[in-house]
Chain A
Amino acid sequence: MTEEQEEEKYEEESEQRSLLEQIQKLGQTNVPSTDSNIHCLTIIGQIEGHLALPPKNKTTKYEHLIPQLVAISQNEKIEGLLVMLNTVGGDVEAGLAIAEMIATLTKPTVTLVIGGGHSIGVPIAVSSDYSFIAESATMLIHPVRMSGLVIGVPQSFDYIEKIQERITRFVVEHSRISEEKFKELMYSKASLTTDVGTNLVGRQAVEYGLIDEVGGVGSALQKLQELIDQQKGKPMEERVFQ
């Protein structure tokens, strides 16, 4: 093959490549969607924040959730938000950001823990106006752990302690549990065989005051509708925006 031919071949190939690179969505779908007055966020798997996790992890990404929460609070047709949780925890900052967004939303919010709402899922579970947990769902409360090589033990300890404090404060402020009780559950040695912490199953989470009620999707939707009606009944200036 002469040099010229080779060059020509290369050009052809790169043209094809750039065509492939230009693949864009086509065929925009125009679907007459029935508008629901209640929107639903599902928080599943790992809560992914500042670092993209390897693809084998099922993740809920904060860059998806945060704009959705803004859109939900802006859209006049949406009257309430149901948050379904089945999460193993994840990034602290992302989790707290989502929890703060839900807590400060101006529309009625209800959370429902199904399966599990562990670790950083706990502040999200308590962030709503009213929280539910399924009878069989569990919530694992444990300390934030440090991993890898630790240089400067007192400083690192202080840093982790502060992170822990942010989580504890949020949970205590948004649920009926006291700080002492929450910390007691977190550092309990009696509940887990190989670790420090407590695994709360359904009703237990309600007994400790972490969650408001045991229930499923039916009771959660009913409660949300009740909160919506309550807010609608009040004159604008008297509406409590939590």
Chain B
Amino acid sequence: MVMYTIVPLEIVFGDDEERPAKSRLTLDVGGVKLEVEQSASNEYEIIRLISSNPSDYLNEKYQPGRKIAMYPLIGFGETPH
């Protein structure tokens, strides 16, 4: 892999110990991608929205900073929708 960037490679690949690694996930919600970070055991905070549809960015449900609740789902062979 070749990097072609103005940022020095020492900075791009430099060690990353200052920030504790929090559990981050990328979810697919209603056709858009949400990057979330765990904030409590059953709670995730939206960090970033990835969508090409500009109107998704006006949707308050996807606003970064919003907390979403997630609970364990127990399935028996089938994934409920």
- Decide if B5 touches A120 in the complex (CB within 8 Å): yes
Q: Is A153 interfacial (CB-CB < 8 Å)?
A: no
Q: Which residues of B contact A72 (CB under 8 A)?
A: 52
Whether A29 touches B61, Cβ cut-off 8 Å, given contacts A53-B13, A56-B16, A68-B52, is yes
A-B contact pairs, 16 of them (CB 8 A): A22-B74, A23-B72, A25-B29, A26-B69, A28-B29, A29-B61, A33-B56, A41-B52, A46-B12, A54-B13, A68-B52, A89-B7, A90-B3, A93-B2, A160-B2, A163-B2
Q: Is A209 interfacial (CB-CB < 8 Å)?
A: no
- Decide if A56 touches B19 in the complex (CB within 8 Å): yes
Q: Which of B4, B12, B28 contacts A53 (CB 8 A)?
A: B12
Q: Which residues of B contact A56 (CB under 8 A)?
A: 16, 18-19
Whether A119 touches B6, Cβ cut-off 8 Å, given contacts A23-B73, A26-B73, is yes
Q: Which of B4, B15, B73 contacts A119 (CB 8 A)?
A: B4
The docked-state distance in angstroms from the alpha carbon of A93 to that of B73 is 39
> Chain B 9-28 against A: per-residue CB contact (8 Å), 1 yes, 0 no?
10011111011010010011
> Chain A 37-51 against B: per-residue CB contact (8 Å), 1 yes, 0 no?
011110000100111
- Decide if A140 touches B72 in the complex (CB within 8 Å): no
Q: A22-B73, A25-B70, A35-B53 are in contact. List 4 more A-B contacts (CB 8 A).
A: A29-B61, A64-B33, A92-B1, A163-B2
- With most chain A CB atoms within 10 A of its CB, the pick from B5, B27, B72 is B5
Q: Which of B18, B50, B70 contacts A26 (CB 8 A)?
A: B70
